[in-house]
Structure 1
């Protein structure tokens, strides 16, 4: 969408020639009595070309003309043979840069201005692969397309679209990139899954067991032996002297009990 008018230069030895460019659109031709408007960038100019992009602002036919000036001498106007309409512009495929950030496929497009949109097609290079299309509204910034599979090649192509003239460019040359590496084997994947499940079980059990150990270490529960437990009221305890206890023991055991105890 850059429109440049060029012409054959007038050659005068040791002299500098200036040129003036004018344009006439459909509005000027039909409603303003065929007036000509000087180009905003090339009235005058020294080079044999003029960027008329800012003058061609509508999708209508434009007439263009140029003349040369040397001091007080001025040539006749040279007029474009056929009016120019910007919808006849042949759009060229945009430049692109394909990079990989780890396993991420990233594209950066040329910044062609606010009128351009980009249609990016990308796919995994394999039989029967589905082609995905992503629209990018602005160039000049990196855009993430997809996450690539290790060991697989991924391909990209792009074309432009200008809504003002309703035209597409051709697709650019296809470029492919590949991430080195192989996919994890099934056995390794299963092993990783089993290890993960074991961690989920062992870690909570270990935390619970450690808590129990800390509880018993810091605050142990002491069980009194039965001999130290008082089963009756202290007032009912009978204090016996040693002689009385021995007498009670001797008196309380029969001959059969003594024999059985000895055996």
Structure 2
């Protein structure tokens, strides 16, 4: 029962919806926004009053559900009673078959009718954008790395040297990095595009050019190490030989002894007092050969 106290439009609407007096309008303008194999179902909220948050549920139906399961509809797991007017159905659209999708709204006890896509959607109709790539020279090789790529896509990488014919390299999207070895010392340019089943192609990426300096010869590194060792040993031998065979007069010119600064010289006299007991007592004795001997 609806309360008669202080009736207003919001409370009347809540009451009518809870009593199911009129149905909730269905969502409108249902469409799929698909870019680089990421598929998002979008719709407009129902144009009608609702005293609480409107919740949405999404279902899909592929060829398997239509032909094998007698037209069964399957709930999109992440889009049941959600308040967001969008649903990522990338996982649900897991094959290259046609899919039908539908959505309905719920407000309190009232539920709208289903609104279905105007035409089935196939993921092969996704919009492919030019791939983002980075090109780097490593010795005599080009290393081409890519950012996020569409699922189940291939990448065609075109490499050419100025004034020469271009070479196209194929790479699966899962690989993400392509290496082109054995290049000559010159400037090379690269561009790429993503491809679905050799038919649906993206626009080409911007052209990137980079210079190849060439690979280092295999003998350069050990030769450089050997020369460094020989030079260091010769220098140390020369230093020790000069020190060992240096003439004293000439060494003094190279190794002069600097006098101590005045501040470091001691300018005091240290005297150690001796006690009278420590003084030796001496007796003078005269020795002569001509002196007469005394009788004992």
Q: Same fold (TM over 0.5)?
A: yes
Cα distance between partner residues in 2 of 1:120 and 1:154 = 13
Distance 2:173 2:100 in 1: 32
Tell me the distance in 1 between the aligned counterparts of 2:127 and 2:148. 18
CA drift at 1:71: 2.3
CA distance in 1, matches of 2:108, 2:138: 61
The partner residue of 1:84 within 121, 124, 138 is: 121
CA contact (8 A) 2:161 2:189 kept: yes
Write the distance in 2 (CA, Å) between the matches of 1:44 and 1:155: 51
Paired residue total? 177
Q: What CA RMSD, in Å, does the superposition of the two structures yield over aligned residues?
A: 2.7
The corresponding residue for 1:5 is: 41
Indicate whether 1:124 and 2:153 are aligned.
no
Residue of structure 1 in register with 2:66 after alignment: 29
Contact kept, 8 Å, 1:121 with 1:157, in 2: the verdict is yes
Higher mean C-alpha deviation, range 59-68 or range 88-97: 88-97
**CA displacement at 1:102 relative to structure 2:** 4.8
Q: Check the 8 A contact 1:161/1:167 in 2, yes or no.
A: yes
1:13-162 matches, within 5 Å, as: 15-112=52-149, 115-126=152-163, 129-139=164-174, 141-146=176-181, 149-150=184-185, 152-162=186-196
Residue 169 (structure 1) aligned with residue 205 (structure 2) = no
Q: Is the 8 A contact 2:139 2:213 kept in 1?
A: no
Secondary structure of 1:67's partner?
A: strand
Q: Cα–Cα, structure 1 residues 41 and 90, in superposed 2: closer, same or farther, change >3 Å?
A: same
Pairing of 1:161-240 with structure 2 (within 5 A): 161-163=195-197, 167-178=200-211
Residue 40 of structure 1: how far off its partner (Å) = 2.3
CA distance in 2, matches of 1:75, 1:23: 17
State the 1:79 CA deviation. 0.9
Q: CA deviation at 1:19?
A: 1.0
**Structure 2 stretches lacking a partner, 5+ long:** 1-36, 215-296
Q: Deviations over 1:5-27 (max 9, x none)?
A: 11113476884322100011123
Deviation at 1:136, TM superposition (A): 1.6
Q: Which runs of 5+ in 1 are unaligned?
A: 182-263
SS of 2:38 mapped into structure 1: coil
By how many angstroms is 1:95 displaced?
A: 1.3
Q: Is the 2:59–2:73 contact (alpha carbons within 8 Å) kept by the matching residues of 1?
A: yes
Structure with more of its chain in helix, by fraction:
1
- SS of 2:64's partner is helix
Q: Is the 8 Å Cα contact of residues 22 and 64 (structure 1) preserved in structure 2?
A: yes
Paired position in structure 1 for 2:239:
none
Q: Distance in 2 between matches of 1:13 and 1:99?
A: 57
Query: Which residue does 2:235 correspond to in 1?
Result: none
